[in-house]
Amino acid sequence: MKLVVTSWNVNSIRMRLDHVTRFLTDQRPDVLCLQETKCPDDRFPSAAFKALGYHHMAINGQKGYHGVAVLSRLPFTSTNVMGFCDKNDSRHIAVTLGTGAKAAAGVTIHNFYVPAGGDIPDPALNPRFAHKLAFLDELMQWQDRAKPTASPSILLGDLNIAPYEADVWNHKALLNVVSHTPIETARLEEFRQTSGFVDAIRQLRPIPEKVFTWWSYRSPDWAAADKGRRLDHVWVAPALASSVTDSSISRETRGWERPSDHVPVSITLDL
C-alpha cells in the first residue's frame, strides 16, 4: 500500500479552513499533520474534516498560540502528547496507526512545532531564542531516552530551522538570522544524526537543490523574489527510508488568496 503523509503549518486552522479542505479534496493524503492551529480543542472544526473522510483526529490545541493536530483517514491505536521546557505549550502530538491501517499499522508519527525563537540570535539577550535552544536540548534527551527510531516512526513538522545552505535563499545573508544560525542548525543536525532519523525530503532532493517551504508575508513579490527557507521537515526512521518513493512541496498553496506563509510538505511511502 501507499501511505501519503503531509505536514502543514496553517497559521490558524479557522482562518485557513477553506485552504485545508481544498488541499484535502485535491490531494487526499492519508494523514495531514497541522501546526499553529491557534485553536482551543473545543473549537476545532472537526466536522468539516469528517465530512471529507478524515474520521480520525488527534488534537492538542490552546487558545491563541501554537497548537498541533493530526487528521487521518486511517485509524490510530494510540495518541500521545509530550510537554517541553516546563511549559504548557501545545507543540507536540504523536499517533500510532492501528491494524485498520493495514501495512502502515504500527507506524508512529510525531508532529512537532518547534519554538520560532524571536528575532535576536543570542540566548543571553533573547529568552525566546534560549527557549528554542532548550527545546532542542530536550529533543536530544527524548531521543536518548525513548529511542524513537527503534520502531517504524516518522518525525515531521515546523521545526523552524533551515539546516543546510541549500535550505535558504542566501546562506551568508541569513547566518545571523534566527532559523539559520550555526548554533541552531548544528543542534538540530546533531539531534537528527544521533537519533538516526533520515531527512526524507533531502533523500529525494539532494543538496545543492534549493528547497523551500516558507516565504515571509513581508515579501509582496514572494514568488518572483523567491526568498524562501526550508523550515518544515519530514524525517523517517532508517527502517522506513527505502520505502519513501516520492515527495511533494505544494508551493501553489502559497499563491492562494490569504494563504499561510508555510506550504504543505508530503512524502509517499510504499509499504
Partner DNA sequence: ATGTCTCTAGCATAGAGA
Which residues of this chain interact with DNA, rule CB under 7 A?
11-12, 14-16, 36, 38, 63-65, 115-119, 128, 217-218, 220, 258
| Strand ranges for the chain from DSSP E | 2-9, 31-35, 56-60, 68-72, 76-80, 92-97, 108-113, 153-158, 198-199, 232-236, 244-249, 265-270
221 is in an annotated binding site: no
CB closer to DNA, 205 vs 227? 227
Q: 257 CB contacts (<8 Å, ≥6 apart)?
A: none
Which residues form the catalytic set?
Answer: 113, 158, 262
- Name which of 246, 260, 262, 265 is nearest 2 in CA terms: 246
CB closer to DNA, 50 vs 63? 63
Q: How far is the CB of 14 from DNA (least distance, A)?
A: 5
Cell numbers at 198, concatenated: 533520515
CB closer to DNA, 16 vs 73? 16
Q: Which residue has the cell 522506513?
A: 240
d(CA 58, CA 52): 16
Q: How far is the CB of 154 from DNA (least distance, A)?
A: 22
- Number of C-alpha atoms within 13 angstroms, CB side, residue 62? 11
Q: How far is the CB of 34 from DNA (least distance, A)?
A: 13
Q: How far is the CB of 124 from DNA (least distance, A)?
A: 17
257 is in an annotated binding site: no
160 is in an annotated binding site: yes
270 is in an annotated binding site: no
CB closer to DNA, 31 vs 174? 174
d(CA 196, CA 192): 6
CB closer to DNA, 38 vs 110? 38
9 is in an annotated binding site: yes
Q: How far is the CB of 241 from DNA (least distance, A)?
A: 29
Burial readout 78-108 (b: 16 or more C-beta within 10 A, e: otherwise) = eeeeeebeeeebbbbbbbbbbeebeebbebb
d(CA 135, CA 160): 12
- Name which of 72, 68, 77, 81 is nearest 97 in CA terms: 77
Binding residues: 9, 36, 158, 160, 261-262
Binding residues for Mg(2+): 9, 36, 158, 160, 261-262
